[in-house]
Amino acid sequence: MREERKCVGTTTLIFDLDGTLMNTLDDLHDSVSYALQEAGLQPIPKQDTRRYLGNGVRRLVEQSVTQSCPEADPTLRERVFETFRTHYVAHSMDKTAPYEGIPQVLRQCKKRGYFTAIVSNKLDPAVKDLHRAFFADTIDVAIGETPQVRRKPAPDMVNEAIRQLSLMHGQEISKERCFYIGDSEVDLLTAQNAQLPCIAVSWGFRGKAWLIECGAKTIIDHPDQLFMCL
């Protein structure tokens, strides 16, 4: 574990979803493959789906289409995206599950009185579905990609999560008492843009070497190490 400064009196933990709380790769890859095949294109390898994750599903689909068919026109790209979106919303929980140790740590967060939120570049309906299915009792707020809120690494989702948590708990939440937890370079930038300290996790879609290369200062290798950094 690599560590930077601690946040004295931490009250609030804001989590990325894909690659941080949940292993969503198989369902995302299956939906990308389905959408490409429905358009008559060849699927891409799972490792490439993994590599394209983090910047939102539209970017994931655009990069997947480009790899499968570099000459694809905008109409085809939009067709693949719409097919992906419909399929993924219907199948986002087929193979997806929390990482080992995550449910226990989240129950501890609740027991210790932390306010908690999810912010994800995943489509908002899928984020809400996963929140209801897996985290309804342990995470207060879940925010996904919508036209109204800019996706990460813009700070908007984080700011909206803090706003909703402040209203929910009837108190103003200071950023000085928040931590952001994520698994990718997008999460590092999101935390920086939102002016929050970041805890990076090595079990997600990027790995420790990449996180170090991207400037991560605090990295944990297992969920139960989270409380050592707060």
11-29: per-residue pLDDT in tens? 999 999 999 999 999 999 9
Q: Of 205, 206, 203, 181, which is closest to residue 194 (Cα–Cα)? A: 181
Q: Please give the pLDDT value at position 4.
A: 44
Number of Cβ atoms within 10 Å of the Cβ of 81: 18
pLDDT in tens, 135-190: 999 999 999 999 999 999 999 999 999 999 999 999 999 999 999 999 999 999 99
Range(s) within the chain of domains with CATH label 1.10.150.240: 25-91
Q: Is the dihedral of CA 100, 16, 130, 85 positive or negative?
A: negative
Range(s) within the chain of domains with CATH label 3.40.50.1000: 12-23+96-229
Task: For the sheet with 178-182, list strands across it.
Answer: 141-145, 115-123, 12-15, 178-182, 198-201, 219-220
CB 7 within 8 A of CB 230: yes
User: What top-level class would CATH report for the domain 25-91?
Assistant: mainly alpha
CB 197 within 8 A of CB 218: yes
Unique residue bearing structure tokens 């959408």: 35
Averaged over 70-94, what is the pLDDT?
A: 95
The tokens of 19 are what? 């690659």
pTM here is 0.91
**2 has pLDDT over 90:** no
3-state helix, strand and coil shares in percent for the chain, rounded to the nearest 5: 50, 15, 35
Options 3.40.50.1000, 2.40.37.20, 3.30.1370.10, 3.40.50.10490; CATH for 12-23+96-229 is 3.40.50.1000
The tokens of 5 are what? 């400064």
DSSP per-residue letters across 107-144: HHHHHTT-EEEEEEEEEHHHHHHHIIIIITTT-SEEEE
